């Protein structure tokens, strides 16, 4: 069984927990589909504290970055609005988990 999990990190503390959750899931289920969606403070924290081990799973909210006058590097995926991305993933059967 393949797990499709969306981990939501809207704060800096949630981003830290989400990164740990992601690594723990990958240890148990290495074939899982995982996205770590960060918005608000979580998106800003993701840019200021890169983590090469998990950043390939990261999805940042462009709205949050725009408010802070930031742009994500090319290697980090972004979406227009985290709320829409989360809703779309849930409609596709992904499980939502707030870190």
Whole-model pTM: value is 0.95
Tens digit of pLDDT per residue, the chain (99 long)?
Answer: 689 999 999 999 999 999 999 999 999 999 999 999 999 999 999 999 999 999 999 999 999 999 999 999 999 999 999 999 999 999 999 999 999
> Judging by DSSP bridges, how do beta strands 58-61 and 33-38 pair with one another?
parallel
Using alpha carbons only, what angle is made at residue 94 by residues 48 and 20, rounded to the nearest 5 degrees? Answer: 40
Q: Packing angle between helix 12-28 and helix 40-48, nearest 10 degrees?
A: 70
Domains of the chain, CATH where assigned = 4-98 (3.40.1260.10)
């Amino acid at each position: 069984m393949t797990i499709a999990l969306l981990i939501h990190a809207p704060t800096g503390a949630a981003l830290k927990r989400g990164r740990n959750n992601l690594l723990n899931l990958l240890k148990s289920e290495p074939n899982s589909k995982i996205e770590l969606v960060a918005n608000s403070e979580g998106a800003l924290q993701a840019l200021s504290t890169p983590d090469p081990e998990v950043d390939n799973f990261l999805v940042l909210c462009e709205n949050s970055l725009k408010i802070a006058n930031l742009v994500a590097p090319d290697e980090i995926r972004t979406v227009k609005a985290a709320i829409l991305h989360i809703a779309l993933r849930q409609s596709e059967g992904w499980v939502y988990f707030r870190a």
